[in-house]
Structure 1
Amino acid sequence: MERLNVLVCDDDTAIVDALEIYLKHENYGVIKAYTGAQALQALAEHEIHLIVLDVMMPEMDGLSATIRIREERNIPIIISAKSEDTDKIAGLNFGADDYVTKPFNPLELMARVKSQMRRYTTLGSIAHKSGILKTGGLELGREGKEVRVDGEVIRLTPTEYGIVVFLMENMGRVFSIAQIYEQVWNEPSYAAENTVAVHIRRIREKIEINPREPKYLKVVWGIGYKIEKY
């Protein structure tokens, strides 16, 4: 089996070294960086499957690096930020898949790494399912892990893709935020409202002509979200 590589980027060398120990214990390859610019350079030089990226760093902060990475890559990004909600929401808005709050428990981070890596490497390749799911002009091709709108390929992050897969496999059914979080993140839902809402908004911006009047990904107020079946 191919060894999966994690890029760890933080200007605190002690944090990077500690995470390296935990990740190697789980048999991940580790590439280290200490600034956003070094992270981009590492991406150009190595095959990276997931990034753990600090928000506050010199030269280029984690949010700026996330924007640059998302211009070309859809690999999972977990940001580490202080407790302020603005940092977390900004990170998710800029394309991160998940976040941990500093100071964080390394075991919690490892659980999030495993969850994101599992989603990245397996979603869409379930052996007993094949073919295309379609509603209106929105198509999901499971084998190629592609989402298209009116024939145009839409680039989604692994988490965004996971949400679309879940909702399209259950078209017409309404799911609460907690149900979506538990199915896609594969962990208990706790204060997940902002996290799910940000991802829903980003998906709408990519698949809807007018995100404020969505055709496909709709909210049922007080209940949750669904993908409309046409």
Structure 2
Amino acid sequence: MSDTPFGLSRRGLLVTAATASAVTVAGPTAALAARPETAATGPTDAAATVSRDRIATAVIRSPGGALTAQPFQLDLHDRLGSWLAFWSANSPSSWQEPVQVTGHTDPAGAVFTLAGLRYRRDDRVHDGFVAGRTDRAHWATLASLHHHFALVEPTADGVLVTGGPAGFTGSPEQVAFAVSACRELWGYRTASAADWRAAANRALRRAGQPADVGSRAGWAAFTRTSLRLGLDTESY
């Protein structure tokens, strides 16, 4: 299914904002100020490490709750901006932009662990994802991450992702997610590691996206429709 018109406008806003993610310019209690992307990038190759305190429009908070700037490799930060725009574009039209991402990078800036995501609706901030809370939004957010990242691994601290091209690989992490999505989102309670592919293809047909889940197009469609189903954007 295509993104809603409202979602598209939010996505454009998020993608534009991703190029203006900022560094922290004062102490930990100071306000976070936006600066042009070129002000702190240094080298321009994808492996260069930059300091950022936002992902698109959303400020970054540490798991302890503090506003923080963290090291990111350029490719990872760019992909996280695209992921957040995708999550927002496929959320219900009454939801406004994501305003906060909670998580942390490793010292090399190559790995990000997502612990929380909050968005605005009706002038209030709501949780869109909370690590450790296994609800429909949890599986929906995992679907969005699998859509954008090759490695998505739940951990005790949250969900770990790394940069690099996304797509179906048949990894244990992808299969485990697909089994859970079929059970928890699509209602196919008997789905297992032995027959998950048939269940996922059944879900795709139900969503009007007939493709094999193991193909590039099929995996993209399965993760996108699972996101929309889990956030109650569509019912299929």
Alignment TM-score, normalising by the size of structure 1? 0.29
Alignment TM-score, normalising by the size of structure 2? 0.29
